[in-house]
Structure 1
Amino acid sequence: MEVRKRKKFWLWTGSILGVIILVILVAALILSAKWKPLLTEKIKDGVYKGSHHLYIINFDKINLNLITGSLALHNVTLMPDTAVYDSLKVAKLAPANVFEIKLEKLQLTRISILKAYFDRKLDLSEIALKNPSIKMTHNKVPKKPDSVKNDSTLYQKIAKTLKSIHVGKIAIKDADFDYTNKAEPNNSSTSLKHVDINVDDFLLDSLSGQDSTRFFYTKDIGFQLLDYKSVSKDKMYTMKVDSIFGSTKSKEITISNFKMIPMFKELAFARKYKVQKDRYDLTFGRIQLKGVDFLGLSSDQKIMVKKVSLNHSKVYVFMSRESPPPPGLDKAKNFPHIALKKLKTPIKIDTIKIKDLDVTYSEYNPASKKIGSVSFKNSYGSILNVTNDSLMLEKNNHAVADLNTSLMGTSKLNLKINFNLTANDGAFSYSGSMGKFNMQGLNSLSVALGLVKIESGEVDKIYFDAKGNTESASGSLNMRYHNLKVELLSDNIDGKGTEKKGFLSFLANNLLVIDKNPKDGEAARTATMSNARIPSASFFNLMWKTVFVGIKDIVGVAIVPEKNPVKQQKVIAEKIKEQKQKDKAGKNKN
């Protein structure tokens, strides 16, 4: 009997609960159905009025579930009204940035409706944006000079309606971003595809604005970009990136396998232009930025980074001397510290760490019809205090590079460069030392570019020290070496190949070239070196050319006058032109 009563009790209880749940479900469905048109109207009206009639939001369908506290909008578009924007510009009230947003789905999950109604606290688990397309256009717009700045905080703007807004997670998946800057003459644009952004723990209340552990009211904003690929505006390069990861919480950005790939081979690339043009082939295996000041970047447009690491990288630069330099070219503006000084964006990088960097510079000499190369393998080191920020420069106006490398993969070279970051003449100083190496290893450079072949020669030690600016460089060099012999070569403009100038080589080795330093029973010679920069010469060209002047003095050929490179370029160009005419005449005869 007692058992039967218990069964009836639980049966009645279950039935009552079932009926209550059913009533709630039915009521929720009815309320949801009735609230959909009201909510749709409220959303559209809120966006329209809240943006001062600038933006219009539309969507195909709205799903509302009061039981689970979820809301979904499908095929959403947020578009600006161009007529309204034009009128705002006339009134000098238009915002500089205008957005066009399209997304497949906007999902809000687990909204605490009762909490929002009774406590005025909006709390939801997640906001998800699926496949959004975001276009941002920056315009140059006039502003009223007497306009009153609204200094109220974001919380103060919502305080009359809500006490707080909390979102556990905001997920933006597979987004496409397009940015156009119409304030610039060429309307520059940037596009990013397939970007993921995850925002953790967004909280807007009376205290979160002062929480130093939050970035724009969030605990973390993480982003990633995978398999990025683009083509340069001149259609001469392809840019590729395997991945970019970043986090405001860790203050880090990591870029994996960045590549800038030329579209054409060396000479084919150079012959696309009527003047000299450097060709770059770049690979950076891993670029890591630590201690990134995201807040300064966002609010003040300043790039402040504690440390940048460059790992497993290759830099290959090629230039052909077939064509003349661009008219009016002066590569002084490309000196590293001068280029840094001219950047409009303030930059401060405490340390740049370099590891496993290979650098190769190659040049085509039309006189020899060969490509000469100099390479620096397995380079590593650091660059300190890279900045153009005026306040930072008042404390320290010098950037210092301390680099170690392997010249042509054989001899260890240590190079120190001190850049004066505030000097108007681009002042800098540098010094270096190098140990033993076989000078024949330089033939890949000296034959092609200097028409000189080193038959033998061993360097025991080199040390150099110099100061320079955009006009020139000078200093001293000490090189200890022995058993030096050279061959002088003819040019190869006629295409018959370079040939040894036997008699001149004999005279050079016996009358000019000093085969060793120090000579037997004598003190080691030290050379003074001085080199005036021509406008087409780069920063690194000035450095190595100055050292080359010192080497010439040490080995005894400083009395041979240096040919003016500008005049020499014209002579070679004229010879090439004559040879082409001969070749063409020969073909016509055949």
Structure 2
Amino acid sequence: MRKSVWKWILGIFLLLVLLVVGVAWYYSRNWKPIVETKLKEVVTNSTNGLYALIYDDLDLNVALGNVTLKNAALIPDSAIYRKMVDQKLAPNSRYHIKLKALKVRRFNIWDVIKNRTLFIKSIDFESPDVHMISEYHAYNDTIVDKKNKTLYDNIKDIFSAINVRDIKIDNVKFKFSKIEEGKSSDILLDSIGIKVHDVLVDETSMHDSTRLFYTKMVEIDVPGFKYDLSNGIYQAKFDHLKINTQEENVLLTKVEYAPKMSKANYFKTRGQNVTMAVLKFDTLRFEKLNFKQLIDDQQTIAQHVQIKNGSVSLYNDKRYPKKTVSKIGSSPHQQLMKVQKLIRIDTVFVDNIDVLYGEHSAKFNREGVITFNNARGTLTNVTNDSLSLVKNNLMKADLQAKIMNAGQLKIQFGFNMLSKDGAHTYKGSLGPMQATAFNNILRPLLNVEIASGNIRKINFNMSANDYRNWGDFRFDYDHLKISLLNAPDSDSKKSKKGVVSFLVNQILINDSNPDANEKYHIGKVNYRRVPEHTFFKTLWQSLLEGIKQTAGISKEREAKLMGTAEEAKNIIQGSKNVIKKTGNFFKGILKKKDKEEEKQD
């Protein structure tokens, strides 16, 4: 009796197994065409016919909950896209995606049948090749009333919810093509790694603030990037890019923007004195970046940006002609306001950046350099958002650096972002240093050097706009002596005009402030801008006017005494001629005397 019971139990169990296997086999065979038809239908309908899905084979195992799509491709229809453009319905971006295999693992068919919910443990993309084509359409900026279908709207007739635990995409080849005015430029990336965690598509997930486009986290790792800019002269590159949407961070390492050629070849290729820029940063980080706004509207909204450990080098070569154009309206804050896409960054942190400016003199054929070492500080309210600027219209910069790696320079800028005439302020100070440090730029460019000089401190407080800079300049110094140099000579590079230098030091400038009469000179700057001068050149010229005034050099005195120096040169040359003639005269007398003595002997 007991044996027969076990036979019945075993028989029933085997029957159930056969039944499950049979059902699984039936569904695998009969669901395949249904799934294929539905899958292609969903893609076509959800994209208004813009995309078509094709593949070689669909392997469906209902019992295990596995699906494999082999040699699949999502292809945009160019004819449909052009019709959508004519109807002002086309998106700015379209995609052509190919992959070796798409593997879906561990979904539960019973949940689909019973609850219309689809849970998938993992999806793997093998060897994806993605081509993204961007073509800007102005109407996408103005259409706000029409609501596009959400992803949930497209799947709700089939599923009430879809949840994917993990998506893994390795070794992605990515091509980005941007079409502007009929011309296309491409960016190529290789070996990209992408991980997506917890994708949920249901009635409420689109509005879940903790998710970005239905996902809890997207992590992207790009190992390297190089891009030749459209003019073919510059190249942008980085060593590594990491993006994490959950942490809302973007990290770039070893970022570089520089010409692809040497300095000499750069100016030769340009044929003009166009500033050459070389930017290198070890770290460029965005924190609390709004990815949704960046992706949807190309708006850069972030809490913090960090620029750390790097250099900014700018070069000019005056041996080449410079295109004279007005720089009015081209100050840094005015340039920011001209950017078409919205930028709003609370704070930019600058840490350990070396800034260098080099200029090659046409007159003396030498390069002068000034450096600002270990620059650091903050820029706040960096934005062109007119609405937020109504509440706070000031962008501020608080920076410091060691000028010529010697004196500590501190400077604060205040930019009125809504000013029509570029209103801004700047104030700062320079700590103790030896004035001779500036010879690296004075000697090559002006053929003048500072023989001695002790800078105790400098303070300035200036206001400015597009047309004028004005304010107070204070310069405390002592033992200032300068040397005017002769024309560069291979035998005597530092040969000096001694008498002229003496006159300039004794008459033209005060060797200290307070001066020998204990009078303290304050510079009252009122500098009218030369329209062709850049923002920073105008700033320097304004401070130079303050230096001249505190050194006791008014414009009238400078003109008068420089004229005196010119006369001194003529006197010196005349003196040399007199001495030469007198020498010849005495030489003649001595020769005569020698001859007479010989006759007497």
Shift in Å at residue 456 of structure 1?
0.8
Tell me the TM-score normalized by structure 2. Answer: 0.85
AA partner of residue 553 (structure 1): Q
| In the alignment, structure 1 residue 324 sits paired with structure 2 residue 312 | no
Aligned mates of 1:220, 1:481 — CA distance in 2: 59
Aligned mates of 2:178, 2:465 — CA distance in 1: 36
Shift in Å at residue 109 of structure 1?
1.4
Helix, strand or coil at the partner of 2:224: strand
| In the alignment, structure 1 residue 277 sits paired with structure 2 residue 274 | yes
Match of 2:367? 371
| In the alignment, structure 1 residue 550 sits paired with structure 2 residue 551 | no
1:260-339 aligned at under 5 Å gives the runs 260-327=257-324, 329-339=325-335
Shift in Å at residue 466 of structure 1?
1.3
Shift in Å at residue 117 of structure 1?
1.4
Helix, strand or coil at the partner of 1:291: strand
Helix, strand or coil at the partner of 1:182: strand
Shift in Å at residue 227 of structure 1?
1.6
Shift in Å at residue 372 of structure 1?
0.8
1:7-22 aligned at under 5 Å gives the runs 21=17
Deviations 1:273-300 (A, max 9, x none): 1211111221111122222122333444
Deviations 1:320-349 (A, max 9, x none): 11112124x233454210110000111111
Q: Alpha carbons of 1:377 and 1:15: their partners in 2 closer, same or farther (altered >3 Å)?
A: farther
Worse-matched range after superposition: 381-390 or 532-541: 532-541
Q: Alpha carbons of 1:131 and 1:359: their partners in 2 closer, same or farther (altered >3 Å)?
A: same
Kept after mapping to 2: 8 A contact 1:367/1:492: no
Deviations 1:233-280 (A, max 9, x none): 233233221222222221221222211233222233222212111112
Q: Alpha carbons of 1:448 and 1:396: their partners in 2 closer, same or farther (altered >3 Å)?
A: same
Helix, strand or coil at the partner of 2:270: coil
Q: Of 404, 408, 415, which aligns to 2:411?
A: 415
Q: Alpha carbons of 1:133 and 1:416: their partners in 2 closer, same or farther (altered >3 Å)?
A: same
Structure label with greater radius of gyration:
2
Match of 1:514? 510
Q: Alpha carbons of 1:147 and 1:330: their partners in 2 closer, same or farther (altered >3 Å)?
A: closer
Match of 1:385? 381
| In the alignment, structure 1 residue 239 sits paired with structure 2 residue 236 | yes
Q: Of 327, 339, 343, which aligns to 2:339?
A: 343
Kept after mapping to 2: 8 A contact 1:325/1:536: no
AA partner of residue 203 (structure 1): L
Q: Alpha carbons of 1:13 and 1:356: their partners in 2 closer, same or farther (altered >3 Å)?
A: farther
Aligned mates of 1:198, 1:561 — CA distance in 2: 71
Kept after mapping to 2: 8 A contact 1:134/1:176: yes
Structure 1 gaps, min length 5: 563-590
Match of 1:484? 480
Kept after mapping to 2: 8 A contact 1:446/1:453: yes
| In the alignment, structure 1 residue 475 sits paired with structure 2 residue 461 | no
Q: Alpha carbons of 1:496 and 1:188: their partners in 2 closer, same or farther (altered >3 Å)?
A: farther
Kept after mapping to 1: 8 A contact 2:350/2:376: yes
Q: Of 200, 203, 215, which aligns to 1:206?
A: 203
Deviations 1:140-196 (A, max 9, x none): 569799998346654344333321111112223222333334354644544443333
Shift in Å at residue 49 of structure 1?
4.5
Helix, strand or coil at the partner of 2:223: strand
AA partner of residue 206 (structure 1): E
AA partner of residue 538 (structure 1): T
AA partner of residue 558 (structure 2): V
Helix, strand or coil at the partner of 1:32: helix
AA partner of residue 547 (structure 1): L
Helix, strand or coil at the partner of 1:444: helix
| In the alignment, structure 1 residue 118 sits paired with structure 2 residue 114 | yes
Aligned mates of 1:373, 1:109 — CA distance in 2: 63
Q: Alpha carbons of 1:301 and 1:235: their partners in 2 closer, same or farther (altered >3 Å)?
A: closer
1:173-212 aligned at under 5 Å gives the runs 173-184=170-181, 186-212=183-209
Aligned mates of 2:77, 2:525 — CA distance in 1: 68
Match of 2:61? 65
Deviations 1:189-243 (A, max 9, x none): 4444333332221112223233222222222222222222222223323322122
Match of 2:354? 358
Match of 2:558? 560
- What is the RMSD computed on CA atoms of the aligned residues? 3.1
Q: Alpha carbons of 1:124 and 1:36: their partners in 2 closer, same or farther (altered >3 Å)?
A: same
Aligned mates of 1:102, 1:526 — CA distance in 2: 72
Q: Of 238, 246, 250, which aligns to 2:247?
A: 250
**Identical pairs, percent:** 29
Q: Alpha carbons of 1:17 and 1:331: their partners in 2 closer, same or farther (altered >3 Å)?
A: farther
Tell me the TM-score normalized by structure 1. Answer: 0.86
Kept after mapping to 1: 8 A contact 2:233/2:261: yes
Helix, strand or coil at the partner of 2:439: helix
Deviations 1:383-428 (A, max 9, x none): 1111110111100001111111111111111111111111121111
Shift in Å at residue 475 of structure 1?
2.0
Helix, strand or coil at the partner of 1:368: coil
Deviations 1:14-40 (A, max 9, x none): 787567546645664564345444533
Match of 1:572? none
Match of 1:163? 160
Helix, strand or coil at the partner of 1:423: coil
Q: Alpha carbons of 1:528 and 1:140: their partners in 2 closer, same or farther (altered >3 Å)?
A: closer
| In the alignment, structure 1 residue 534 sits paired with structure 2 residue 530 | yes
The size of the alignment, in residue pairs, is: 557
Shift in Å at residue 457 of structure 1?
0.8
Kept after mapping to 2: 8 A contact 1:366/1:493: no
Worse-matched range after superposition: 289-298 or 457-466: 289-298
| In the alignment, structure 1 residue 105 sits paired with structure 2 residue 109 | no
Worse-matched range after superposition: 185-194 or 354-363: 185-194
